[in-house]
Structure 1
């Protein structure tokens, strides 16, 4: 079956070489090499259906606007930087765990007054032409997971899905409600304010934005984006989200924690969130000043925003909505405990009544038999997009690792014997090792020190049973080996691209014991269940989900060529020394 799928999608395709975003036509020689690689991949897999091992969205056409079509899959890349790849391991392998990572869904209330769409030319994430479709796109990703059901290499059913942060875009209660419903299932109206109409920048009549339902020749249409009748009315239409059929967990990200993921939420802008004044534009000089402040001086950004709202910019009146009010960490945890969003479970999705009482959004869970999952909170409520860990959480993490390690290494490199509850460990966070340099004091814990990604790497390398650190935030596919002179102290960092910017990937991760002193971590990217081909006249739910992917590829301010990663960041086998018992 896998071989048939491979041939079906490779035959007659003239599209991409694995690892590139804008993909050249394959020469006969390269096509044969890719065909051989895919054949080998299919032979090693239990199944490849529904994954990027089978097929990948591929841009085609000569115009400014590229259409997407199904192209050849991406073969498996074996990475042996941390341990050797012994022959015969496929026949000896025992599956230990199989799960899925979602990340950076950014479910977006596009009509919210507290947004910065007018800064898109300075900060690409401020506005995306596809963002009115984030909720439908995420639900289509859920559909894909429900279809695949099992790991392609171990054949193990998925035990859970972990969403590693930025589940909401602007930490609004309505965005959180959409996220919980997408994951657990139910009726969703992806609209706020006046539920009968759209009140965002995409019908503003400003040539600065893509006005999809208008013939206005705006800046986006100049880049090739089409006019699509019924796009906005379709985007706010209620639909039924199927919800995941497997348990799911949540890790918190900076967009779940602060204003647009950048400004500290000190309760100063609550009235603006729920009010009727939406800033849709300002002069270029002020926009550049505000964009710089968002990146470098959150306090100055808040002051500039206040001045613009009170008379310095183009303000539109929108329908107020109390559901846009920002949520606190306590409310974030409490919402997950609602019986209405339990879905496939577990109750609380990692959060407990203790999480509500303490506001601590970090926890442990049983990932699989003999494998422990640890979800961290790497956000810093002082503002800025990047993160860090507070001392209390770092100490908690160290104590958890000690409790579940058969042995570890102290700071001098000496072996310390642990207890009997030794398990493999997978760590989850939103931020990566390279994006945890925000050491500003947390305003809610001003006397607590903050700790960087480098410090976290050093801590994790003391514990041989840590096999992977899985994260998001960068919107980029990248897999980093963290080697060590002592082989068993090495681990893999697996960073996955977002589901709001192209390439819209989620990632299957499987852990297997090769029975030769090594482990294999298989990573397989998946796209949503949306059709690859779009029809500008189709605003059905599948049609809109397909447009979500294609518009993301054609966002004139985005950089899909860097975010997609290389062949060694896509479908991989990551070798690792198995820790001694």
Structure 2
């Protein structure tokens, strides 16, 4: 912990705002690319990208289709901001240096995730009018936005409230940690209590990105993290810039714009599992989240011991109470916070509220699941139905699946929509390929005798489990059975990817969009057009967030940064992150497109 760096000098040293920034623009107008050079590189403006026409084999392209077409639905997709309480004791960020399947348990830009998410929302609002004209020359207005999950990072109450505040608009306070008191205790000495309470009063960052919080360790313990105040002793972040006071500036409250249209939510694995992987059914693990001991890199814990461990092995060891006890023996005191508690599914729904989809859960499913069902459907206009799926594998693991009760409900919905000749767009967190989890919900453990977050609270049997592309009764096969399914919109993989999924003349488009947490921090607009010639067109348009392309100059004190400048720094940090997937932008065929289909009606 250290005091925030103050002073007006920072405001005078900020880099000038670029003349052509993303606010109010889409990537058909301009794009962002890495500047030339090696090492840590800046980002710069590049030209816009033309829309790519894609069609299934055998579907005729009518050159005059733009003269008759009508808009049926125009909506946005947000996905994977993974809003992190980066100071939470419940995180496993101390293992990030192990790489492999444990990578991205920490990100250099994670402290400003809320500011980035607000800039994402602002550019969606600024692009509410469609770029595509119908046959009468009119352009549709954005009707709603769907979120395809991983809005929170660690299933915590405060993270959930934060992302909802960004989406709804209003005051957002990114800081976590509360003063120690009888109601918020910490078993430590009086001097430590005084120091921790002073840190809360000063809104100081506490975590792995501040080397001062765990001094005196071998150099390799620091190389895996970026401290904006101090140069690392070599390693992948050695070329990263300094922004003194950046972490403390990130903790300041701000006012979020909020979406100008309704939004509907689908859960992701990070919304329903600890760090997106483990059920929160271990009592000790839940108590760690709200307590005052946080595990930092240490002499006794070398992340290299986890190198090469797959996800299942790593989280089996992390979830073992004996191993947790060993970790806590070398932990350091931090300000505790009861708002870091892990949410159950019912509590999560209550926090989101009925207005963002969960009020549309079928009454029969709600009763049968003891209030745990989170899947629902709605019709934004006659002839079009949106179906929201919950693909979280309650038994654990970052990949997903559908339990049998949800699968049966989905099939009934698809059957009814086909009879009524409604077009169906389904959305959920996991792509078909990542719906590969074979764990049952019962693997999370029973809720008896006392319900608790992380247990299997749905009294119905989850089996047989349904996956995306493998096993019996897959989601792919179910969608293909009903030709009125025209799209499945997903996230999870953090990259832009569009695939035609077909069998014979039947098919649909799977539309996957990059995350807001990692490079390139983009969102997507989707519009369905009836070409009135026996075909449909789905227009997809990718948006960068609204923050300036040019980040403040390296070395600038961060005390004077605006929220948009914090988000600008985040964008370039995310691009330069050594763990970043540079191919996440996808091909041009995965971004701005016109996707043709036969009209199944």
Query: Normalising by structure 1, what TM-score?
Result: 0.83
Selected match of 1:390 from 379, 403, 407: 403
Q: Distance in 1 between matches of 2:257 and 2:537?
A: 32
Q: Distance in 1 between matches of 2:336 and 2:323?
A: 19
Q: Is the 8 A contact 2:527 2:539 kept in 1?
A: yes
Decide whether aligned partners of structure 1 residues 293 and 559 sit closer, same or farther in structure 2, where only a CA change above 3 A counts.
closer
Q: Distance in 2 between matches of 1:305 and 1:253?
A: 27
Q: Is the 8 A contact 1:149 1:158 kept in 2?
A: yes
Task: Give the C-alpha shift of residue 112 in structure 1.
Answer: 0.5
Q: Distance in 1 between matches of 2:500 and 2:407?
A: 22
Aligned pair 1:516/2:533, yes or no?
yes
Task: Give the C-alpha shift of residue 96 in structure 1.
Answer: 0.9
Give the aligned partner of residue 483 of structure 1. Answer: 502
Aligned pair 1:425/2:424, yes or no?
yes
Decide whether aligned partners of structure 1 residues 447 and 575 sit closer, same or farther in structure 2, where only a CA change above 3 A counts.
closer
Aligned pair 1:125/2:94, yes or no?
no
Give the aligned partner of residue 546 of structure 2. Answer: 529
Decide whether aligned partners of structure 1 residues 558 and 124 sit closer, same or farther in structure 2, where only a CA change above 3 A counts.
farther
Q: Distance in 2 between matches of 1:438 and 1:81?
A: 30
Give the aligned partner of residue 439 of structure 1. Answer: 438
Q: Distance in 1 between matches of 2:397 and 2:501?
A: 26
Aligned pair 1:301/2:318, yes or no?
yes
Task: Give the C-alpha shift of residue 439 in structure 1.
Answer: 1.4
Q: Distance in 2 between matches of 1:293 and 1:281?
A: 20
Tell me the alpha carbon deviations over residues 406-463 of structure 1, each in whole angstroms, 9 at most, x when there is no partner. Answer: 3xxxxxxxxxxxxxx3211000010111001101111226662211102101011111
Tell me the alpha carbon deviations over residues 371-421 of structure 1, each in whole angstroms, 9 at most, x when there is no partner. Answer: 100000111111110011111100000011111113xxxxxxxxxxxxxx3
Tell me the alpha carbon deviations over residues 56-95 of structure 1, each in whole angstroms, 9 at most, x when there is no partner. Answer: 1111031311111111112111111253322111122111
Structure-to-structure mapping, 1:24-39, within 5 angstroms: none
Tell me the alpha carbon deviations over residues 484-516 of structure 1, each in whole angstroms, 9 at most, x when there is no partner. Answer: 21x2x2111001111101011111000001111
Structure-to-structure mapping, 1:429-468, within 5 angstroms: 429-443=428-442, 444=456, 448-454=463-469, 455-468=474-487
Decide whether aligned partners of structure 1 residues 76 and 492 sit closer, same or farther in structure 2, where only a CA change above 3 A counts.
same
Give the aligned partner of residue 36 of structure 1. Answer: none
Q: Is the 8 A contact 2:265 2:356 kept in 1?
A: no
Q: Distance in 1 between matches of 2:66 and 2:152?
A: 40
Task: Give the C-alpha shift of residue 348 in structure 1.
Answer: 5.2
Q: Distance in 2 between matches of 1:542 and 1:477?
A: 24
Decide whether aligned partners of structure 1 residues 347 and 292 sit closer, same or farther in structure 2, where only a CA change above 3 A counts.
closer
User: In structure 2, the residue corresponding to 1:483 is in which secondary structure?
Assistant: strand
Q: Distance in 1 between matches of 2:578 and 2:379?
A: 43
Give the aligned partner of residue 140 of structure 1. Answer: 119
Decide whether aligned partners of structure 1 residues 379 and 346 sit closer, same or farther in structure 2, where only a CA change above 3 A counts.
closer
Q: Distance in 1 between matches of 2:67 and 2:115?
A: 41
Aligned pair 1:197/2:204, yes or no?
yes
Structure 2 runs not aligned, ≥5 long: 1-18, 134-138, 178-199, 213-220, 443-455
Higher RCO (CA-CA < 8 Å; seq separation 6+): 2
Give the aligned partner of residue 115 of structure 1. Answer: 91
Q: Distance in 2 between matches of 1:288 and 1:262?
A: 19
Structure 1 runs not aligned, ≥5 long: 1-7, 11-47, 339-344, 407-420
User: In structure 2, the residue corresponding to 1:461 is in which secondary structure?
Assistant: helix
Give aligned pairs, total: 510
Give the aligned partner of residue 413 of structure 1. Answer: none
User: In structure 1, the residue corresponding to 2:38 is in which secondary structure?
Assistant: coil
Task: Give the C-alpha shift of residue 105 in structure 1.
Answer: 0.9
User: In structure 1, the residue corresponding to 2:131 is in which secondary structure?
Assistant: coil
Structure-to-structure mapping, 1:186-265, within 5 angstroms: 186-193=170-177, 194=200, 196-205=203-212, 207-208=222-223, 209-217=225-233, 219-222=235-238, 224-265=239-280
Selected match of 2:130 from 138, 151, 161: 151
Decide whether aligned partners of structure 1 residues 182 and 305 sit closer, same or farther in structure 2, where only a CA change above 3 A counts.
farther
Q: Is the 8 A contact 2:95 2:303 kept in 1?
A: no
Q: Is the 8 A contact 1:279 1:308 kept in 2?
A: no
Q: Is the 8 A contact 1:212 1:229 kept in 2?
A: yes
Q: Distance in 1 between matches of 2:323 and 2:60?
A: 55
Structure-to-structure mapping, 1:339-378, within 5 angstroms: 354=366, 357-378=370-391
Aligned pair 1:56/2:31, yes or no?
yes
Decide whether aligned partners of structure 1 residues 350 and 139 sit closer, same or farther in structure 2, where only a CA change above 3 A counts.
farther
Q: Distance in 1 between matches of 2:357 and 2:531?
A: 34
Q: Distance in 2 between matches of 1:349 and 1:56?
A: 38
Structure-to-structure mapping, 1:407-418, within 5 angstroms: none
Selected match of 2:511 from 494, 500, 510: 494
Q: Distance in 2 between matches of 1:291 and 1:276?
A: 31
Q: Distance in 2 between matches of 1:113 and 1:425?
A: 42
Give the aligned partner of residue 173 of structure 1. Answer: 157
Aligned pair 1:504/2:500, yes or no?
no
Q: Distance in 2 between matches of 1:85 and 1:301?
A: 54
Give the aligned partner of residue 35 of structure 1. Answer: none
CA RMSD of aligned residues (A): 2.3
Q: Distance in 2 between matches of 1:577 and 1:382?
A: 39
Q: Distance in 1 between matches of 2:302 and 2:79?
A: 34
Q: Is the 8 A contact 1:159 1:368 kept in 2?
A: no
Q: Is the 8 A contact 1:471 1:494 kept in 2?
A: yes
Give the aligned partner of residue 411 of structure 1. Answer: none
Task: Give the C-alpha shift of residue 159 in structure 1.
Answer: 0.8
Deviates more, 1:362-371 or 1:458-467: 362-371
Q: Is the 8 A contact 2:490 2:511 kept in 1?
A: yes
Q: Is the 8 A contact 1:9 1:72 kept in 2?
A: no
Aligned pair 1:94/2:70, yes or no?
yes
Tell me the alpha carbon deviations over residues 186-220 of structure 1, each in whole angstroms, 9 at most, x when there is no partner. Answer: 11111101362111111133623211023454535
Tell me the alpha carbon deviations over residues 288-310 of structure 1, each in whole angstroms, 9 at most, x when there is no partner. Answer: 43872633464333127514423
Q: Distance in 1 between matches of 2:503 and 2:146?
A: 28
Q: Is the 8 A contact 1:248 1:349 kept in 2?
A: no
Give the aligned partner of residue 330 of structure 1. Answer: 346
Aligned pair 1:380/2:393, yes or no?
yes
Task: Give the C-alpha shift of residue 351 in structure 1.
Answer: 5.8
Aligned pair 1:70/2:45, yes or no?
yes
Give the aligned partner of residue 556 of structure 1. Answer: 578
